[in-house]
């Protein structure tokens, strides 16, 4: 059964959520996991694509936007309007809703900041997962 982790981030900016998504992707990639980052829009997908190249000076995460990925086995892919192939293990969700394909993943990471709208949306997602019996964990991320 899919494990769902909610990461409660300090602050309230989208950039902070995207930076944390990059850090989490880097960690999962280094552990040998295949990651799919699900975004809200084409614009957010492009911003995250750019950020994955620059977020950390000594880090390299080979990745591609899902629809542009020439090799479907690429360990890290991101997108907003298409379902990834079945080989990814970790889903990082930056969208407002639960993706329909979430249960194919071993783990789902939900990133929540202090913005009221994001918190309300995350409560709905939390209830969705809880009502269906998915194991839930919450991690409070400290500033720093």
Residue 5 banded pLDDT, cuts 50, 70, 90: very high
The reported pLDDT for the residue numbered 35 is 96
Which residues, listed in sequence order, are joined to residue 110 by a DSSP beta bridge?
Answer: 6, 93
Higher pLDDT, 116 or 14: 116
Buried b (16+ CB within 10 A) or exposed e, 35-73: bbbbbeeeebbeebbeebeebeeeeebebbbbeebeeee
pLDDT digits (tens, 9 = 90+) for 12-71: 888 889 999 999 999 999 999 999 999 999 999 999 999 998 888 877 788 888 766 556
Measured CA angle at 16 (ends 13, 20), to 5 deg: 150
pLDDT at 118: 96
Q: Tell me whether residue 29 is exposed, middle or buried, using C-beta atoms within 10 angstroms of its C-beta: 0 to 12, 13 to 18, 19 or more.
A: buried
Residue 81 in this model has a pLDDT that exceeds 90: no
Residue 92 has pLDDT above 60, yes or no: yes
Give the span between the Cα atoms of 129 and 102, in whole angstroms. 10
pLDDT tops 90 at residue 82:
no
pLDDT value for 86: 72
- Confidence class for position 9, pLDDT limits 50, 70, 90: very high
Counting beta carbons within 10 angstroms of the beta carbon of residue 28, is it exposed (0 to 12), middle (13 to 18) or buried (19 or more)? buried
Domain count, the chain: 1
Q: What's the pLDDT at 72? A: 64
pLDDT of res. 68: 61
Residue pair 33/90 in contact by the 8 Å Cβ criterion: yes
Range of the domain at 73: 3-140
* 32 or 88: which leads in pLDDT: 32
CATH number, residue 45:
3.40.50.10110
pTM: 0.94
Q: Output the pLDDT for position 128.
A: 98
């Amino acid at each position: 059964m899919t494990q769902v982790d909610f990461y409660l981030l300090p602050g309230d900016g989208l950039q902070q959520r995207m930076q944390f998504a990059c850090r989490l992707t880097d960690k999962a990639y280094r552990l040998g996991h295949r990651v799919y980052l699900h975004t809200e829009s084409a614009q957010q997908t492009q911003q995250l694509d750019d950020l994955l190249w620059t977020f950390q000076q000594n880090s390299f995460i080979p990745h591609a936007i899902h629809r542009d990925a020439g090799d479907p086995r690429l360990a890290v892919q991101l997108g907003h309007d298409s379902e990834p192939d079945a080989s990814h293990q970790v889903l990082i969700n930056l969208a407002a809703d639960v993706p329909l394909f979430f249960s194919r993943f071993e783990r789902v990471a939900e990133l929540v900041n202090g913005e009221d709208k994001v918190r309300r949306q995350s409560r709905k997602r939390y209830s969705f997962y809880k009502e269906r019996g998915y194991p839930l964990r919450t991690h409070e991320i400290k500033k720093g």
